[in-house]
């Protein structure tokens, strides 16, 4: 199944006999919780999911958005009406990063059918509602490991043996600026690949063939093992999603730069070149 869904396809499925569970994952980095925006207007039937509280664990040595507790994540998904035998569609109101994190978490823990609304809420042309749904409890039981996962050591090794993509903005990769984490720069050997370049001005993903060409130019050729990191495992999930659209499997380093840069023993590279 494709990893993304268009607004027209979602509208058709919601009107059909077996509508998907829909999750609203509106979020902004460092900003207030966006549940109030959800309560004002959302796709009918959509349930709000809090990225910071439900798609990540508490920040610490594992980074700003480490993996959540598996049982707590499962309970949150079941409360949102998620079952393994029911399609899931996720969306957010911005760049698609938060929705991609929800997609990745559900796929990583074994859900077989999750799609991101291409273009997010801005692409939705159907009605919006302020009515808060009360979904029947779902049955999804997460089992981590269905998608490949990297830790710091694995990311360092992949940067040497395969292709490790840095999904952050190019200026953060180079170390020109670092607005969030304690050290500026990138993992030595990683290749700059801002995830913002995977989408058009509309916010929708580029065609699969164009994405495949982009990643091939970055080194995703010949069956090379591919991994992705970002600041804290959110925009990196969006890059993994873009790779999936292009037909390229990739691992995610969830701790990402927010974990790497906390450890003073780990090397840091700066400038435009991988090393």
Cβ contact 164:228 at 8 Å: yes
Parallel, antiparallel, or unpaired: how do β-strands 114-117 and 4-5 relate?
A: parallel
Residue 82: name the closest of 64, 119, 55 by CA. Answer: 55
What is the widest separation between alpha-carbon atoms in the chain? 56
Catalytic residue flag (residue 230):
yes
For residues 131 and 257, what is the distance between their CA atoms, to the nearest angstrom?
39
Q: How far, in Å, CA of 80 to CA of 102, rounded?
A: 12
Cβ atoms of residues 192 and 170 within 8 Å:
yes
List, in order, residues 6 or more apart from 3 with CB less than 8 Å away.
103, 114, 115, 116, 241, 244, 245
247 burial type by CB count under 10 A (0-12 exposed, 13-18 middle, 19+ buried): exposed
> Where do we find the tokens 């180079």?
174
Among 25, 211, 230, 252, the active-site one is 230
User: Which residues have a catalytic role annotated?
Assistant: 230
């Amino acid at each position: 199944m494709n990893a993304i869904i268009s607004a027209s396809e979602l509208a058709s499925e919601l009107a059909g006999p077996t509508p998907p569970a829909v999750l609203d994952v509106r979020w902004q980095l460092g900003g207030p919780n966006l549940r109030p925006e959800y309560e004002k207007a959302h796709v009918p039937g959509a349930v709000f999911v809090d990225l910071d509280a439900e798609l990540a664990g508490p920040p610490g040595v594992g980074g700003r958005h480490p993996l959540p507790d598996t049982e707590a994540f499962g309970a949150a998904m079941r409360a949102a009406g998620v079952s393994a035998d029911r399609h899931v569609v996720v969306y957010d109101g911005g760049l698609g990063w938060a929705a991609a994190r929800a997609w990745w978490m559900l796929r990583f823990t074994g859900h077989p059918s999750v799609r991101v609304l291409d273009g997010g809420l801005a692409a939705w042309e159907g009605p919006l509602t302020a009515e808060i749904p009360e979904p029947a409890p779902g049955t999804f039981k997460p089992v981590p490991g269905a998608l490949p996962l990297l830790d710091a050591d694995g990311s360092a090794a992949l940067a040497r043996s395969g292709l490790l993509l840095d999904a952050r903005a190019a200026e953060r990769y180079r170390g020109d600026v670092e607005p969030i984490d304690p050290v500026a720069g990138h993992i030595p050997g990683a290749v700059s690949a801002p995830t913002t370049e995977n989408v058009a001005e509309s916010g929708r993903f580029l065609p699969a063939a164009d994405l495949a060409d982009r990643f091939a130019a970055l080194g995703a050729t010949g069956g090379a093992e591919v991994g992705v990191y970002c600041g804290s495992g959110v925009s990196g999930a969006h890059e993994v999603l873009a790779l999936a659209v292009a037909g390229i499997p990739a691992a995610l380093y969830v701790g990402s730069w927010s974990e790497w840069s906390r450890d003073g023993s780990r090397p840091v590279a700066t400038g435009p070149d991988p090393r």
